[in-house]
Amino acid sequence: MRLARPLETLIDELVKLPTIGPKTAQRLALYILKLPEEEAKQLANAIIEARETVHPCPECGYLTDRSICLICTDNTRDESTICVAEETSDIIAIEKTGFRGKYFVLNKSFHLMDDNKLEEIKVAPLKKFLSNGKVKEVVLALNPDINGDILSRYIASLASDYGVVVTRLAHGLPVGGDIEFADELTLRRAMEGRKQF
Amino acid sequence: MRLARPLETLIDELVKLPTIGPKTAQRLALYILKLPEEEAKQLANAIIEARETVHPCPECGYLTDRSICLICTDNTRDESTICVAEETSDIIAIEKTGFRGKYFVLNKSFHLMDDNKLEEIKVAPLKKFLSNGKVKEVVLALNPDINGDILSRYIASLASDYGVVVTRLAHGLPVGGDIEFADELTLRRAMEGRKQF
């Protein structure tokens, strides 16, 4: 099928995005062609502006368009508790729990970071955080996989050097989840972590 | 939750697109922030270029970036059979059945077209098609809904003025289904089994 070349190019670009398959890319591209020109430009400009201006906060790694992020400069937050997470999307989810401490985001897959240089790049700002004398607890909120376990152990050993208590999010049954359908490891963790009723 | 403003703007723009909910928009936006700057620009430019250069062909309505589209200028195609469809996405699907006639696309929802002026705008090029003396059959490939039925009747009466045979795709399309999403075989059967309207 011969599509107009700029239409094909747009579909090719859209299909590179996560969760967007060829059918959805085609649908989105045809939709974009029908947008008023102003709205198509707004979308394109939003992409460019976000990409150019948003970067990890140099102190905590949370994505921001300022020199220091909104969370770091928020004096109403509890500086004694630092939640360490892998991605800004994790912070967005954790924030909804009402957590009012501060954060440290590893931005593992952020383009500025090279996975092989994880320690070199992120240890410096994390050490700065831990050494400021205000942090009393580090809450590890890393994904429960091998990678998350390795990172957790590494950060825990770092924190213990500074005499900081290290906790991590409880593993167990998801609320509303059926015991019958829980995977074995989750159920084992739930059993190990059982609490007095 | 306080997100960086350009990130919020990008999420707001993405969520306007069809099939993109708030969660997907957030995921796409965070992905775009991690793209190399060059790739983010390619995506933005593809949007602008497609929107600026792609338009309905003045002869048949198929989306093109040329003055006359690739299908209209293809001399190997059968000029005696014209398939009338609502959208370019329908043509993309029909083309996969091996249909080798020409097309007329109504572009019902295209931004250049005003639904209330459907007749005024589209009758002229359709009449030009029908009056060229080459067209022997009009295949109606409009969605099997009330709107499609009304359009079919209207085009059939127009075609009969020119002594052109009118057929339509066989029923065989699932009721309530969109042509765009029909599987290739179903659509091929519908094309083969087209009946006089």
Q: Provide the chain B residues 92-131 that lie in CB contact (below 8 A) with chain A.
A: 92, 95-96, 109-111
> Is residue A113 scored above 50 in pLDDT?
no
Q: Which pLDDT belongs to residue B1? A: 63
Average pLDDT over residues B19-25: 95
Give the mean pLDDT of B51-69. 92
* pLDDT range class, residue A195, cuts 50, 70, 90: confident
Q: Are B56 and B110 in contact (CB under 8 A)?
A: yes
Task: Assign A158 a pLDDT band (cuts: 50, 70, 90).
Answer: confident
Alpha helical stretches, state H, chain A: 5-15, 22-34, 37-53, 88-95, 118-130, 146-161, 184-192
Of A84, A89, A71, the C-alpha closest to A126 is A84
Strand duo B165-168 + B137-141: pairing:
parallel
Nearest Cα of chain A lies from the Cα of B91 at a distance, in angstroms, of: 9
Give the least confident one: A42-46, A50-54, B29-33, B180-184.
B180-184
Are A46 and B6 within 8 A, CB to CB? yes
Is the minimum CB–CB distance between B6 and chain A shorter than 8 Å? Answer: yes
Q: What are phi and psi of B105, to 5 degrees?
A: -105, 125
Distance from CA of B1 to the nearest CA of A (A): 7
pLDDT of residue B33: 93
User: Can you give the pLDDT at residue A138?
Assistant: 92
Going by pLDDT thresholds of 50, 70 and 90, the confidence category of residue A119 is low
Q: At A36, list the tokens.
A: 């008023």
Residue B144's alpha-carbon distances to A27, A81, B24, B149, B181, in angstroms, are 20, 61, 31, 7, 13
Q: Tens digits of per-residue pLDDT, B87-133?
A: 888 998 898 888 999 999 987 654 334 455 555 556 677 888 888 88
Query: What is the reported pLDDT for B110?
Result: 45
Biggest CA-to-CA distance, chain B: 66
Cβ(B181)–Cβ(B165) below 8 Å: no
Does the pLDDT of residue B40 top 90, yes or no?
A: yes
pLDDT at residue A150, rounded to an integer: 79
Domains of chain B, CATH where assigned: 5-53 (1.10.8.420), 56-196 (3.40.1360.10)
Closest residue, chain A, to B109 (C-alpha): A34
Of residues A106 and B121, more confidence is placed in A106
Confidence check: pLDDT of A90 > 70? yes
Q: What is the pLDDT of residue A144?
A: 77
The answer to whether A13 contacts B48, with C-beta atoms less than 8 Å apart, is no
3-state secondary structure string across B43-84 = HHHHHHHHHHHCEECCCCCCEECCCCCCCCCCCCCEEEEEEE
- Reading the block at residue A137, the tokens are 């607890």
Contact B109, B124 (CB under 8 A): no
Place of tokens 């049954």: A173
Cβ neighbours of A34 in B, within 8 Å: 109-111
| Rg, C-alpha atoms of chain A | 21
Average pLDDT for chain A: 85
- Tell me the per-residue pLDDT of A59-80, one tens digit each, with 9 for 90 and over: 888 999 999 999 999 999 999 9
Q: In chain A, what is the straight-line distance between the N-terminal and C-terminal CA atoms, in Å?
A: 65
State residue A109's pLDDT score: 53
The pLDDT of residue A26 is above 50: yes
Residue B38 host element (H or E): helix B37-53
Residue A18 touches partner B, C-beta closer than 8 Å: yes
Q: Which helix (H) or strand (E) holds B85?
A: strand B78-85
